[in-house]
Structure 1
Amino acid sequence: MEKASTKTIAVNKKARHEYFVIEAYEAGIELFGTEVKSLRAGAVNLKDSWCDLIKGELFIKQMHISPYEQGNIFNRDPYRERKLLMHRREINKLAGQLSQQGYTLIPLSLYFKNSRVKVQLGLCKGKQLHDKRQDMAKRDAKRDIDRALKERIKT
């Protein structure tokens, strides 16, 4: 069996800072040809994007894919809603979890898996300010420890 090759296109760093990621899912995304060409060039922004459930279907909103330079009339609106492709039972499970207070669905990363574009979605709960401060303190402490270990190894 062949191993699936993946190539990361974009990562939503802000999502892990703003939210606790409870669970991660993989979904396909419905795109047009010029959008895929823009993705191959890395012209995408996931920063303020989020997902919504409309009539039993998942859509990603506010994801910006820059128009392809040679696309002329075939280019689409950069901010258009794009349909996400998941199995019905996964969507139903997500619908139940999203109905709970405080949960939202945020795209964490965009990548190529073999020749298909996939989105990693995170079922997230918002962080309070003190949670963000704790995470920053842990990250700073880890950085200091790593730096001290590196200095100790050098000498």
Structure 2
Amino acid sequence: MAKQNDIKVIGENKRARFDYLIEDTLECGIELKGSEVKSVKEGRVSFGDAYVRVKNDELWLMGLHITPYSHATIENHDPLRPRKLLAHAEEIHQLRRKTEERGYTLVPLRFYVKRGLVKVLVGIAKGKKKHEKREAIKERDIKREMDRELRRY
């Protein structure tokens, strides 16, 4: 297992944790071109609308925007192209079964560099209802108030 300091977090999808109930996670590699790797390591990634689709027994990351690298040549990559995720066949099969159930989807939760390789943490998620989101906001506010009171005394 890698130590915590071996991992450099590039971006985290906080919106996904608010909109979805995350049931399980899976670490995947991502197939990138050279200029994309440099852009990702600079943190020039936007994945608010990104999702993962299982197609032909492969995982595909859709809707991820990687800004073109500024020092690359004219033949730069397409910022919104679908990118293949790398995982074992059995893991992909389990994800396919889970997403075929009603209400489940796959969302990217975190991008990070681990031992020089760009990784994606994919979550199996179920959408939250509006009242569940309100309860989460209420609980967060209550916790914040309690922390303030404890610091005061």
Range into which the TM-score falls when normalised by the shorter chain: over 0.9
What do you get for the CA RMSD once the two structures are aligned?
1.2
Give the total of aligned pairs: 152
- CA drift of 1:74 comes to 3.8
Which 5+ residue runs of structure 1 have no aligned equivalent? none
Cross-structure match for 2:147: 146
Structure 2 regions of 5+ residues with no counterpart?
Answer: none
Equivalent in the alignment of 1:9: 10
What is aligned with 1:57? 58
Question: Residues 113, 2 of structure 1: CA spacing in aligned structure 2 closer, same or farther, 3 A cutoff?
Answer: closer
TM-score, normalised via structure 1 length: 0.95
Give yes or no for the alignment of 1:135 onto 2:140. no
Give, as a single letter, the amino acid of the residue that structure 2 aligns with 1:81: P
Work out whether residues 34 and 74 of structure 1, in 8 Å CA contact, stay in contact via their aligned partners in 2. Answer: no
Any idea what the Cα deviations from partners look like across 1:25-71, whole Å, max 9, x if unmatched? 10000001111111111100110000001111000000010000011
Please identify, of 32-41 and 121-130, the stretch whose mean Cα deviation from structure 2 is larger.
Answer: 32-41
Corresponding residue SS for 1:73: coil
Contact 1:52 1:58 in 2 (8 A): yes
Correspondences of 1:11-50 after superposition (within 5 Å): 11-50=12-51
Tell me, yes or no, if the aligned pair for 1:38 and 1:65 is still in contact at 8 Å: yes
Q: Deviations over 1:3-38 (max 9, x none)?
A: 471000000111001100010110000001111111
Distance 1:13 1:2 in 2: 23
Distance in 2 between residues matched to 1:40 and 1:112, nearest whole Å? 8
Give runs of aligned pairs for residues 87-126 of structure 1, distance below 5 A.
Answer: 87-126=88-127
Identity, in percent, stands at: 43
Runs of 4+ in structure 1 over 2 Å off: 1-4
CA displacement at 1:75 relative to structure 2:
1.6
Q: Which amino acid aligns with 2:54?
A: L
